Amino acid sequence: MRDRASRTAEQVALFRALETARGRDRVFDDPLAVRFLRGGYRLLARAARLRPVGLRLSRLIDRRWPGPRPSAVARTRLIDDLVVAALAHGARQVLLLGAGYDSRAYRLPGIDRVPVFEADHPATQAVKRRLVRGAVRPERRRHVHYVPVDLLRQDLGDALLAAGFAALEPTVVVWEGVTNYLDEPAVDATLRRIAALTATGSSLIFTYVDSRVLDGSLDAGNWPEAVRRAGEPWTFGFDPATLPGYVAARGLRLALDMSTRDAAVRYLEPLGRDENAATFYRVAQAEIQ
Alpha carbon distances (Å) from 162 to 20, 125, 155, 166, 199: 36, 17, 11, 10, 18
Helix (H) or strand (E) holding 129: helix 122-133
Alpha-carbon gap, residue 204 to 228, rounded angstroms: 27
Q: What is the pLDDT along the chain (289 residues), one digit of tens a residue?
A: 344 567 888 999 999 999 999 999 999 999 999 999 999 999 999 999 999 999 999 999 999 999 999 999 999 999 999 999 999 999 999 999 999 999 999 999 999 999 999 999 898 899 899 999 999 999 999 999 999 998 778 888 999 999 999 999 999 999 999 999 999 998 999 999 999 999 999 999 999 999 999 999 999 999 999 999 989 999 999 999 999 999 999 999 999 999 999 999 999 999 999 999 999 999 999 999 9
Alpha-carbon gap, residue 112 to 203, rounded angstroms: 18
CATH superfamily of 67-288: Vaccinia Virus protein VP39 (3.40.50.150)
Alpha-carbon gap, residue 156 to 107, rounded angstroms: 25
* pLDDT at 114 (0 to 100): 98
The verdict on pTM exceeding 0.85 is yes
* pLDDT at 3 (0 to 100): 46
End-to-end CA distance of the chain: 34
* pLDDT at 121 (0 to 100): 87
* pLDDT at 2 (0 to 100): 45
Helix (H) or strand (E) holding 121: none
Buried b (16+ CB within 10 A) or exposed e, 66-97: bbbbbbbbbbbbbbbbbbbebbeeebebbbbb
- In the chain, where are the structural domains located? 67-288
Enumerate residues 6+ apart whose C-beta is below 8 A from 170. Answer: 90, 91, 92, 93, 198, 199, 201, 202
Decide if 241 contacts 271 (C-beta within 8 A): no
State how beta strands 171-175 and 203-209 pair: parallel
Decide if 132 contacts 107 (C-beta within 8 A): no
